[in-house]
Structure 1
């Protein structure tokens, strides 16, 4: 064995020894388990048992104790046990834990205490009166000795288990009860018992008293010989009576009416006393209470509910009623007030308060008043709290109203100010104020815009959400647009105030321009007098007032006029102008009908002359030819002073250019002053001849015959008197030898030998010269021409072809077949110029042979071809 191995073995053995020694040393830190049996538990020494002293070994002090069974009595710090506090016999364990500072972590030791049974130390006798009702059997033990254990059982003399507290109301005599606790084998192999003896004496029975409450004012006529014993039940006989009005201890009859008369209202006690036959039980009395009350008379009393409030005060308001006595005094004291509250949150309630010197103030729950409305508080009963309410107190119509007024509300209200004039008051219409109760209100309003004013006040009465108020004229000094805003509204009756924001737009109209003028021209008697008012600016619809002065005075006249361009015209009624001479029109008032604004006028006037009427002219009949187109200017007399009319009543003269017709015409003479006479009548005769009539086909001729105007006249119904012109108006007279032309227009008139007048009407004839039936033998187509400008044969034309073949066409070609010319009756002659774009320079056809095709376009006659020679 090596030295190293021996050292290792020695280390292992040392470690094993150290471990074993350490365990032994730790176990002795808390000591060894101990125990103790206590059979004589009632010995006072057992009130202080040291558990630490019961540990074996060498326990380290300073540890802690625990009561493992929760048996009570242990001081965990000192380890001292009061064993008498343990409520039953048996074994109980207590653990000691050594302190950690001793190096003995978590080391414990246990002490076991065994307690012997203890059934108590009885007195053993107890005496009780039956009126004590119950008796606790444990109270019969000796109070100087510890109480018995509580795990025992009580039994009566019959061996029946009973409760520790028994009822003795019906018991009378001596009774035995035994208390037995279970055994503890270490001290007693059998249960342990103690016996107490209880003697119960019967208590005197004075009976169960009743009460009686009567109204001394109204109810006592039937109580002059009242047997008080009728208010008592279950009493022992032979007792003694006492109280107000009792005439002897054995006579319970009393005159309550006399008692009330002698002593007044109050509470009266009547006693019935039964004497006890044993010193254990005292004498017993029953107290019968008779209350004699006085009826309270509240006739003439008043109730005032304080105080009316506005809707916004509901959350913070308190409410109370004040009752003031009437003609009958109400005694000072505490009373119960029963009242009813009607209204949206009504109900019945009661409260207690005191009358002091005829006045009582009582609170009212604010829960009755949670919204705006009228609440009626009615007192239904008042009685003293000391009484029984035996009297029907006299309470007549004791009520009052509490008003919680709505805040005036202008939500959704509409303000509609009537348009007003400058410096005039304006009326503001309030509508749609559905949330506003009917009533009278003060308002505060602001004006902003063209007129500005703050915190103005007004008053208005509102009915059905509608009201009006007036803005004074001094606030309407400026014309234009303003906004009126109601900022506050107050009910003048309830004084409830609320902010508001009702708005409306207001128009203040300007006053009419007072710088107007008037113009009246001189007139003739009986003529309308037209008046022009000027300087009216932009006015269009006005009312004007004026008076007349001078030769025709008249009171103020008023009329409505339409103005345009700053002017308005009217006519003074003729009934006001009966005299010639000088008259003055003076304007007095001007009103703008659109805005209703008016202004008085001063010194706005003009004067005019009413001139006399001249005599009517003297006339003779006059005759004219219709064709001459005689006009008013041709009538006699003529001149600037004469005016002609188509009726005697016409006021519009005929123009000088008006064509005369047969009939009466009327002439008036105008004086230098412009006055016109009555009309004079003249007969005007306008003569006329019928227009000529053209014979059938009288317009058709053959041009080959060279017809003339004479030939045309012969084709009418008046060949000897017809005359012809080249135009219907201002035309040239055509002689009989004037040749007719193709499609020439001719206008024929007839000349009457009787009147010397041409016919007013005429005929219009369009002549045709193509009415030719046969082609003459000398019809010739030339074979050449020389367009050299010498005036001889300068163009190629076929003579008279337009009469024979009016729809003909002629085409000319060069030798290359290029078209050179196309012609017809409207273009009958070729001048040698190329119009067909044949390619020949400058369009001038050169000398040479050319070819033609003639289309007759009549009677299916075939075209004719030929040639011609052009030589310049």
Structure 2
């Protein structure tokens, strides 16, 4: 019997072909002990008979006791009973099952049963719904669960062309809202036809709570915390009319419809932390679930390590490099740091990349260790903390660090075995100075050494301390250890750096000598009195056979100077030197005290018992106080006009000139120098300068013929100014010295001399005078004159004289003669005597002094060109 059932397969097509060929090539063979190969096709899968197909019945004659093998792991065969349940095979296809007998008594055989499972597409449900937020809705959910489930190796097709189908999964969001049709098809196989089922899916809109956000805040930004934060503003794309609830217990929401919270109040009340608020939106259909979005307010506390102290323990010497352990202690600063785990990032000088470790703060102290590999050699290493962040922090705050560092030193061992020891020969009774320099590794700082002395002076295990600067150090061997003249050897056995505490052995030696002292019992001194700032010459005698000496001395009294020194040559037991003027600034009695004299030839010196000498330094006058002066050139100022003045003051025209200027020396612009001289001591002050500025105003100059005018024009001083080249400030005077200033409207007088001076308003100075004698006879016309025909000399101030107006301007050399009717001369005039007052002033006869009323006759002699004289008459009426 052949059963036809539908079966879906998604197995490999090649596999299907191979099995299919096996099926069509199956040949019933003659009965074997395991039975014969056979085949069966099952198309109508839902048929209940297909749940229990006995494969033994397909073997024909067979030997019992064999075992079944499900060659393609279909899962439908009970390997014990040989019953095949085609309904639990979830794929269509060709499957083989092998029965094998090996009973040990001559039957060793197998037979293959080939089963073709046809396609089955299942029974779809009448109503299938999906929510629009389901991105992978399984269309197999669209089959009626009351019927046998479809096989799995069919093919789905998108009937509406939504483009939202991938295999059996529907992207409901992509498909969009509404009803969509999808067909599931199982292909034909062998004699089994193809089958298909259609699933109708209605996509309903899912509620959208939007996308919640995280508001990440740092407590250091407290003032910017929102006191009226609408949680809806922290959502995007949400449906309206949702409900809020809080799950952090802040009690900020008064109801499910309240969406406003006070972030600052949350922080004030609960402090730093994470606070969650959930927005829920109900679906409009029973298919979709309630959707929720969460808004999280995270307030992190800023780590403030201001004032924190870092200690890296501990400095070592270089012989400890391979065994040293380094521990770091970070103590909190002004802010208490909560206990817990922290990321600590630190740097080490010489290491390029920062190092980050996790360690714990415990009661304000964080400890961690640093590997010795970071400190491989002698050097100075700076360890600095650049960031501390709590483990789990979201980075809302930038830690406030400040400068947190410590210096770790790997100190070298002090090494001086290759150093140079320098010890100058010393004189008996003096300390010996030992200089250590050259090839050493000594850094600046304090050191101690242990040394031994041998040969002429012996000492053992002596300790000395010294300081090294710029690679050199010196220490002293006390004179008490080297009292004997002769050669001595020093051996340094140990050196310690007192700063680092590093100690090293030493094996360095040096020889030096102790010399005898000279004798100065016959020494004599002499110093002359002098003025301040003059060289003080000290003469010495009684120096014996010495050739070159160093004199060490002090000054006491009004001048004090300690530890002064001078080197001088000695000739025939005598020498001299000058005490620097810089040490002799005060006048009065000063004492020279020679403390010792050193023989530079032998290098030894002796203290002096008879080396004191007093001498007088006379005071120099104080430097005069002067002032700069500004004069006008025409003031003719002299040296006597300068400040200060007096016989004790001497003036010079240069700082070095020795010629004293007399008091009547006329001043010019430039610097003058004055000093004061004390007549009694001969001491003189320093010179001080005074700047003299002689302001000179250029004198005005007269244009050519500028003094010539025509009196008919009534020229004034302004007319004269117009004929003068001036600086714009020209004034006229009636005298060159102490003259009266004239106004510009004043009429010029013929033959008068005027003095013009330019004036400078910036310097308040006048120029030298320009003297101008005016001529008013420069007239080029010869007009007819008005000659009065009478006058009345009665003393009423009106017409009291006879005068020919302006004749002197046209005919400056004219003459006038007046006669009475008897021909007697009454008056003779010219430009200097131009008016007749009616008296017989020029009569050569014995006439009365007053001319009587009557007619008189005049003659005018023009005396110009060839103009003839003019005669006329006039009437005198008193």
Q: Is the TM-score greater than 0.5?
A: no
| TM bin (shorter chain) | 0.3 to 0.5
Please report the TM-score for the alignment, with normalisation by the length of structure 1: 0.42
Q: Larger Cα Rg: Structure 1 or Structure 2?
A: 1
